[in-house]
Structure 1
Amino acid sequence: MAVEIIMPKMGMGMEEGTVVEWLKQKGDPVKKGESVVSISSDKIEKELEAPEEGVLIDIEADVDDVVPIGHALGYIGAPGEEVSTESAAVPEAEAKKEVPVAAAPQPEPSLEPVSTDEPRLRVSPAARRLAKIANVDLATVTGTGPMGRITKADVAEAQAHVQKAQEPVADAKPAQEAVSAPTAAPSSGKTKKVTGMRKVISERMFTSLQQTAQLTLQTTVDVTELIAFQKKAREAYQINDEVRLTITDFIAKAVINALLEHKSMNSLYEGDTITTFDEVHLGVAVALDEGLVVPVVEHADKKSLSAISREIRKASKAARGNELNQLKLSGSTFTITSLGTSGVGFFTPVINPPEVGILGVGTISQQPVYFGDELKKRSMMPLSLTFDHRAIDGAPAAAFLATVKANLETPFKLVL
Structure 2
Amino acid sequence: MTVDASGPGVRDVVPLTGIRRTAARRMIKAWEAPAFTLTLTVDMSAALAVKQRDAQATVTDRLIECCARALVRHPQLNAWYDDLTVTRFGQVNIGVAVATDAGLMVPVVQGADRLALPEIRAARRDLVSRAREGRLGRADVTGGTFTISNLGMQGVDRFTAILNVPQVAILAIGATSERYVRRDGAGEWVPQADFTLTCDHRAVDGATGAAFLTELRALIETP
Q: Normalising to structure 1: TM-score of the pair?
A: 0.50
2:45 to 224, 227, 233: 224
2-side partners of 1:366 and 1:233: how far apart?
A: 23
Secondary structure of 2:37's partner? strand
Partner amino acid, structure 1, of 2:106: V
- Name whichever structure is richer in helix by fraction: 2
1:375 is aligned to 187
Q: Distance in 1 between matches of 2:12 and 2:149?
A: 30
Q: 1:377 & 1:315 partners in 2: Cα distance?
A: 35
Letter in 1 for 2:201: H
2:206 pairs, out of 394, 400, 403, with 394
Q: Identify the match of residue 359 of structure 1 among 146, 149, 171.
A: 171
Contact 2:170 2:199 in 1 (8 A): yes
Task: Report the AA paired with residue 204 of structure 1.
Answer: R
Does the 8 Å CA contact 1:201/1:291 hold for their aligned counterparts? no
| CA distance, structure 1, for counterparts of residue 23 and residue 50 of structure 2 | 34
CA distance in 1, matches of 2:188, 2:51: 21
The match for 2:131 among 315, 319, 340 is: 319
Question: For residues 114 and 54 of structure 2, what CA distance do their matches in structure 1 show?
Answer: 22
Equivalent residue letter for 1:398: A
Aligned to 2:88: 276
1:288 maps to what in 2?
Answer: 100
- For 1:257, which of 69, 90, 94 is the aligned residue? 69
Alignment deviations for residues 284-308 of structure 1 (CA, whole Å, 9 cap, x no partner): 1111122111111222111111111
Q: CA deviation at 1:268?
A: 0.9
Cα offset, 1:187, TM superposition: 5.7
Offset of residue 199 of structure 1: 3.7
Preserved CA contact (<8 Å) 1:268 1:274? yes
Gaps of at least 5 residues in structure 2 are 1-6
Amino acid across the alignment from 2:13: K
Q: Is the 8 A contact 2:149 2:173 kept in 1?
A: yes
Aligned equivalents of 1:219 and 1:385: distance in 2? 9
Partners of 2:108 and 2:189 in 1: how far apart? 36
| 1:194-231 superposed Cα distances (whole Å, 9 cap, x missing partner) | 42254433222122112x1111111110112331x323
Which letter does structure 1 place at the counterpart of 2:214?
Answer: A
The C-alpha deviation readout for 1:100-155, integer Å capped at 9, x for no partner, is xxxxxxxxxxxxxxxxxxxxxxxxxxxxxxxxxxxxxxxxxxxxxxxxxxxxxxxx
**CA, structure 1 residues 321+327, in 2 after alignment: closer, same or farther (shift >3 Å)?**
farther
2:53 counterpart SS class: helix
Indicate which of 233, 249, 262 corresponds to 2:53: 233
Match of 2:219 in 1: 407
Q: How many pairs align? A: 216
Contact persistence 2:50–2:57 (CA under 8 A):
yes
2:34 alignment partner in structure 1: 213
Distance 1:313 1:355 in 2: 23
Contact 1:254 1:408 in 2 (8 A): yes
Report the RMSD for the aligned CA atoms in angstroms. 1.7
Alpha-carbon distance in structure 2 between the residues aligned to 1:326 and 1:317: 16
Show the counterpart of 1:150: none
What secondary structure does 1:324 align onto?
A: coil
Give the secondary structure class of the aligned counterpart of 1:402: helix
Query: Any residues of structure 2 matched to 1:331-342 within 5 Å, and which?
Result: 331-342=143-154
1:315/1:327 contact within 8 Å kept: no
The offset of 1:321, in angstroms, is 1.3
Q: Which has the higher contact order (CA 8 A, sep 6+)?
A: 2
Structure 1: which 5+ residue stretches go unaligned?
Answer: 1-185, 236-243, 412-416
Give the Cα separation in 2 of the matches to 1:352 and 1:225: 29
Q: Give me the identity figure in percent.
A: 36
CA offset at residue 271 of structure 1?
Answer: 1.1
2:23 — aligned with what? Answer: 201
Amino acid across the alignment from 2:175:
T
